[in-house]
């Protein structure tokens, strides 16, 4: 692979040169890039790596003209396409697991199955690094060359990402990645609190390089950006008033108008809490407005007597003079039932016993609604949930039902994936995951023979049911090892409950 030598001796693959992102610590791979460009037929300029990449970067499409035809996409059983990286990655990208069928899997020392492409690729796919052992004998192994994107090879053969070189933290065992690091030379600038450098292409692009946002301060924001009080520019359409401090000084969350839903109570500070939480004796609003004296004061009848604050218009006479039910708005159901507190018709939830408040309502399918056979309008999530939400059971028709070994029924929509062998225990007896073929990044339990995902391994929970996913684990400092090899939290030791499964956590305990 052709290499480019940075000014201070670092070597990077040639295709990183003038790609718009500096891989050399001194940024020399992004200097003098005039010769490393592709000129479109209309005069536009794009980077060479964008030519023949399957996407038109030139407005006239000339960067994709004359290119070799792309290989036909990989197809799921239903005919839809999926990318090569989705093949054998342990995820149900197709929806029917067809992208995970017929994979060549290798077993790690800890029992996890990984695709063959994960062997010696520089990443710990197993979780115990056994897929990256003895790689020097494999021809073309990534471990020996570190030629993958953004990688640097240490003297001992370890690989680190390019942006870990000269970032102020030693990542190679001997610290070589932080030796002979250059000062930030123009056009590069240095972060305020570290030795890391950034270039003009990093400044004010919305993606901070420096921990203290040096590269994103004092920016001139574009029309589609929001100017933070500290000078940062952030995307206005997605980052402002999203309940997250994107600016770093919370200025993007100030002066936000919040509209509460009909079932919520608007607090004095504008935030929303459930309507049922008001006047419950606990302050759920940060300003306590849901428990204010004015809101929760007793209702005064016309004769001067006091009744509970929620007695007004509850379809129940509380005042002797009936004044608590005066001037109220009710909804009268078809069967004569009177629903108090106003008209809740057509809100997707039946307040009438005969559901007449939800009949003949406009059903907007774009709003996740559907119409039952009897005319009732319901939310789409009521379909095939195992409950007769419509009243005529039409919401449970044409559903796919799986019967568990214990008789429990799991219903799904016809176009939804089957609960069988989907790497999730849907049946309470886990019978939907028995006898399944284990896929990538899963392990087979020893006795129960379930397939459990990699992240279940050594998480402190007996997901297998036989403890095999918790055996021979390296216990953390806040854990202890049971006699059967499982790791459990230290706080569970001698707490009076058997957590290990062999009672070893309750042995040798001080009775006092």
| Domain ranges (residues) in the chain | 264-297, 454-506
Residue 429 near residue 406, CB atoms below 8 Å: yes
What φ, ψ does residue 493 adopt, rounded to 5°? Answer: -75, 125
Instruction: Of 30, 60, 56, 55, give the one whose Cα is nearest residue 43.
Output: 60
399 and 392 Cβ atoms separated by less than 8 Å: no
Q: Determine whether 4 is exposed, middle or buried from the number of CB atoms within 10 Å of its CB (0-12, 13-18, 19+).
A: middle
Query: What CATH number does the domain located at 454-506 have?
Result: 4.10.400
pTM: 0.44
Q: Give the three-state DSSP class for 166.
A: coil
Name residues whose C-beta falls within 8 Å of residue 463's C-beta, 6 or more positions apart in sequence: 450, 452, 456, 469
Task: Report the pLDDT value the prediction gives residue 133, as an integer from 0 to 100.
Answer: 74
Calpha distance 242→253 (Å, rounded): 7
Buried b (16+ CB within 10 A) or exposed e, 431-449: bbbeebebbbbbbbbeebe
> CATH number of the domain at 264-297, out of 1.10.3470, 4.10.400, 1.10.510, 3.40.50?
4.10.400
Residue 294 φ/ψ, nearest 5 degrees? -65, -40
Which strand (E) or helix (H) includes residue 202? none
Nearest to 146 by CA among 130, 135, 157, 136: 157
Q: Pairing relation of β-strands 377-379 and 400-403?
A: unpaired
Q: Which residues pair with 265 in a beta bridge?
A: 273
**Residues whose CB falls within 8 Å of the CB of residue 238, separated by 6 or more in sequence, listed in order:** none
The SS3 call for residue 299 is strand
Long-range contacts of 423-432 (CB under 8 A, 24+ apart): 423/92, 423/451, 423/452, 423/453, 426/402, 427/402, 428/404, 429/404, 429/405, 430/465, 431/404, 431/405, 431/406, 432/402, 432/404
- In the chain, how long is the greatest CA-to-CA distance? 95
CB neighbour class for 134 (10 Å; exposed up to 12, middle 13-18, buried from 19): exposed
Question: What is the rounded CA–CA span in Å between residue 261 and residue 237?
Answer: 22
Answer whether 110's CB lies under 8 Å from 126's CB: yes
Neighbours of 234 (CB within 10 A): 20
- Topology alike, domains 264-297 and 454-506: yes
CB of 26 closer than 8 Å to CB of 8: yes
pLDDT by residue for the chain (512 residues), tens only, comes to 345 677 655 666 555 677 666 667 667 777 777 666 667 888 877 766 666 666 777 888 887 777 666 555 677 887 777 777 778 887 777 877 888 888 888 888 888 888 887 787 667 788 777 887 776 544 444 444 454 444 667 777 677 666 667 766 677 777 777 776 766 666 667 888 777 777 777 777 767 777 777 787 777 887 888 888 877 788 787 778 866 777 777 888 888 777 776 667 888 887 788 877 888 778 888 898 988 877 787 888 899 888 877 777 776 788 889 888 787 767 778 888 877 654 456 767 777 888 888 777 777 665 677 888 888 888 888 888 888 888 899 999 889 888 999 999 888 888 777 888 887 888 988 899 888 888 888 889 989 889 888 888 887 788 888 888 888 777 777 788 888 777 888 888 898 888 888 889 998 887 54
Position 143 scores a pLDDT of 40
**Closest CA relative to residue 216, chosen from 191, 239, 236, 241:** 191
């Amino acid at each position: 692979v052709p290499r480019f030598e940075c000014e201070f001796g670092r070597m990077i693959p040639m295709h990183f040169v003038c790609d718009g992102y500096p891989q050399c610590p001194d940024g020399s791979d992004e200097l003098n890039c005039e010769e490393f460009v592709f000129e479109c037929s209309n005069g536009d300029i794009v980077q060479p790596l964008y030519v023949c990449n399957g996407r038109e970067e030139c407005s006239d499409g000339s960067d994709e003209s004359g290119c070799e035809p792309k290989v036909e996409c990989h197809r799921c059983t239903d005919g839809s396409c999926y990318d090569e990286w989705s093949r054998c990655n342990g995820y149900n990208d197709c929806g029917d697991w067809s992208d995970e069928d017929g994979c060549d899997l290798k077993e790690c020392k800890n029992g996890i199955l990984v695709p063959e492409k994960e062997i010696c690729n520089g990443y710990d796919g197993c979780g115990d690094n056994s897929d990256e052992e003895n790689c020097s004998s494999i021809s073309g192994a990534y471990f020996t060359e570190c030629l993958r994107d953004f990688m640097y090879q240490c003297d001992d053969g370890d690989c680190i990402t390019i942006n870990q070189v000269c970032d102020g933290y030693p990542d190679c065992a001997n610290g070589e990645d932080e030796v002979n690091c250059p000062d930030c030379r123009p056009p590069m600038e240095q972060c305020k609190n570290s030795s890391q450098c950034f270039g003009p292409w990093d400044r004010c692009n919305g993606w901070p390089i420096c921990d203290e946002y040096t590269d994103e301060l004092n920016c001139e924001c574009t029309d589609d950006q929001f100017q933070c009080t500290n000078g940062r520019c952030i995307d206005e359409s997605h980052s402002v008033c999203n309940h997250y401090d994107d600016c770093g000084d919370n200025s993007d969350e100030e002066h936000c108008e919040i509209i509460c839903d009909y079932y919520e109570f608007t607090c004095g500070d504008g935030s929303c809490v459930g309507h049922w939480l008001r006047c419950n004796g606990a302050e759920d609003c940060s300003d306590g407005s849901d428990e204010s004296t004015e809101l929760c004061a007793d209702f005064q009848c016309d004769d001067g007597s006091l009744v509970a604050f929620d007695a007004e218009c509850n379809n129940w006479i509380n005042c002797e003079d009936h004044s608590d039910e005066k001037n109220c708005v009710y909804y009268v159901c078809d069967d004569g039932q009177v629903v108090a507190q106003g008209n809740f018709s057509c809100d997707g939830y039946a307040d009438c016993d005969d559901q007449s408040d939800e009949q003949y309502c406009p059903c907007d399918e774009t709003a996740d609604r559907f119409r039952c056979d009897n005319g009732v309008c319901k939310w789409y999530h009521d379909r095939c949930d195992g409950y007769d939400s419509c009243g005529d059971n039409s919401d449970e028709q044409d559903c796919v039902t799986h019967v568990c070994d214990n008789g429990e029924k799991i219903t799904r929509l016809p176009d939804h994936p089957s609960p069988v062998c989907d790497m999730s225990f849907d049946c309470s007896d886990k019978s939907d995951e028995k006898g399944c073929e284990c896929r990538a990044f899963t392990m087979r339990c020893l006795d129960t023979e379930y397939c459990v995902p990699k992240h279940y391994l050594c998480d402190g929970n007996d997901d297998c049911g036989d403890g095999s996913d918790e055996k021979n684990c390296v216990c953390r400092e806040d854990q202890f090892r049971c006699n059967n090899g499982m790791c459990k939290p230290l706080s569970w030791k001698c707490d009076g409950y058997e957590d290990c499964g062999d009672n070893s956590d309750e042995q040798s305990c001080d009775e006092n």
